[in-house]
Amino acid sequence: MKIDPRRLRFLLAIAREGGVLAAADELGVTPSAVSQQLARLESESGCALVIRTSHGVLLTEAGQAMVEAAEDIERALNLVRAKLLEDEVDPVGTVRVGIFQTFLRVVFAPNLREWRNRHPRLRFEVREDDQEELLRQLRSGDLDMVVLELDAQQASPRLPKNMTETPLLDEPWRLVVPSGAQQASGEQVDVVDIARQSLPWLGLDASAAGAQATHRVRRALGVSGPMVHTYQDIHTALALVAAGEGVALVPSLALFGVSHPGVSPLEIPGLGTRRIVLRRYEGRAVPEALDVAASLIREAAAAVSLEETIS
C-alpha cells in the first residue's frame, strides 16, 4: 500500500466540512478535484473511506483512521512551523485575543509563562465574551484574533476577505449524567436509555456550539421532550447534573484535569466533536507578532492530550 500524503488534506476537509462541495469551497478547488483526490486515495488504500448520504458523507472506520493520521501530520507540521518561526523572529507588541473559558483554562493560560520566557517582548491581552461579540470586535479591529468553538458537524460560514480560519483542536462531546443514574440494582444501564428516558436534558444558550450539538444529538436519539433550565457556563451545567437535575452534552476539555463529584461522563457513538478554530486577518500589513502568537497557540493546542479528562 503506497499512499500519497498530499491527498490526506482532501479527506480531512471532507471530514471537517461534512461533504465534497463544502470541502471544495474550503480548499478553493472544484468539487470534481476533491472527488478525484478522494477516489485516488481510496484506490491507494484499498478501502472505502466515506459513505455518501442525502445529508452529506459519513466516514467509514478506515476513513476515520485515515483522518486521525492526517490530524497527527497536521499537528506535527504546526509544531515545526512554530519552531521555525520562533527561530526567525523576535516578536514585539501586544496581541489581543478573544477566547472562551475551557480553551483558556486548559490550553492558553498554562502556556503564558513559557511564552513570556521565550518571547519577553511579546504580550497577550485576553478578552472573554460571547462569540458574536468577539467576532464583531475582530471585524472592527478591536481584537487581533479569536478562538472559537463550533460543532464539527455544522457547516463553516464563508469568511470575509483576508480572514482565515485555522483548526486548532477537535475534541469529543461527552454526555454527562448524575453518578447515580449509571446504576440500576448495581448494574450499569444502557446509556442511550439514560439519554432518552431517565432524565431531562439541560438547555444551553442558543449562541453556544453546544446548543447546536445538543439539538443534533437529541434528534439522532429521538428525544423530543422539553429541556429544563438554561445555562451559559459549563460549570453551571456540571453543578446541575451533579444535583440530579438532568443530563448535558459538554466538551471533553470541560472535564480536563478536574474532579467533578457527582458527575459521570459517558461516551456514546455518534455524539460527534467540538471543533476549536483560530480566526484572524492575514496580509502584508499584519505585524510579525501576530504570526508568532498564532503559531504559539497552534503549538499549544497540538500538544494537548485529552487522556486527562475524567472517566
200 close to 223: Cβ distance less than 8 angstroms: no
List the CATH number of the domain containing 15.
Answer: 1.10.10.10
| pTM > 0.95 | no
47 close to 4: Cβ distance less than 8 angstroms: no
| Assigned domain for 142 exists | yes
If we measure between CA atoms, which residue out of 171, 168, 96 comes closest to residue 128? 96
- Are 148 and 201 in a shared domain? no
List the CATH number of the domain containing 84.
Answer: 3.40.190.10
| Assigned domain for 16 exists | yes
- Which residue, 14, 46, 66, sits at the end of a domain? 66
- Are 184 and 148 in a shared domain? no
Quote the Cα angle for 28-29-33, to 5°: 155
- Are 282 and 254 in a shared domain? no
- Are 199 and 258 in a shared domain? yes
Rounded CA separation 115/92 (Å): 13
- Are 42 and 109 in a shared domain? no
| Assigned domain for 165 exists | no
Q: Which residues are registered as beta bridge partners of 125?
A: 96
- Are 267 and 187 in a shared domain? yes
| Assigned domain for 162 exists | no
- State the amino acid at position 149 in one-letter form: E
- Are 175 and 256 in a shared domain? yes
- Are 180 and 267 in a shared domain? yes
| Assigned domain for 183 exists | yes
**CB under 8 Å to 10, separation ≥6 — which residues?**
23, 27, 34, 37, 38, 41
> In the prediction, which pLDDT does 186 show?
40
Rounded CA separation 297/294 (Å): 5
86 close to 118: Cβ distance less than 8 angstroms: yes
| Assigned domain for 261 exists | yes
**C-alpha grid cell, residue 63:** 476513513
| Assigned domain for 166 exists | no
Q: Could you tell me the CA-to-CA distances from 124 to 22, 96, 143, 153, 295 in Å, in that order? A: 34, 6, 11, 31, 13
Q: Cell numbers 462541495 correspond to what residue?
A: 21
| Assigned domain for 163 exists | no
> In the prediction, which pLDDT does 111 show?
96
Q: Cell numbers 502584508 correspond to what residue?
A: 284
- Are 47 and 82 in a shared domain? no
256 close to 308: Cβ distance less than 8 angstroms: yes
Rounded CA separation 81/125 (Å): 23
The tens-digit pLDDT sequence of the chain (311 residues) is 688 888 888 998 888 888 888 888 888 889 899 999 999 998 988 989 998 887 778 889 898 888 888 888 877 777 676 666 655 557 789 999 999 999 999 999 999 999 999 999 999 999 999 899 999 999 989 999 999 999 988 777 788 888 999 999 999 999 999 987 654 434 444 455 555 557 899 998 887 888 989 999 888 888 888 899 999 888 899 999 999 999 999 999 999 877 888 999 887 777 889 999 999 998 767 788 999 999 999 999 999 876 554 44
- Which residue, 66, 93, 116, sits at the end of a domain? 66
- Are 12 and 88 in a shared domain? no
- Are 130 and 264 in a shared domain? no
Residue 186 belongs to what domain range? Answer: 171-273
Q: How many domains does the chain have?
A: 3
- Are 194 and 258 in a shared domain? yes
> In the prediction, which pLDDT does 196 show?
52
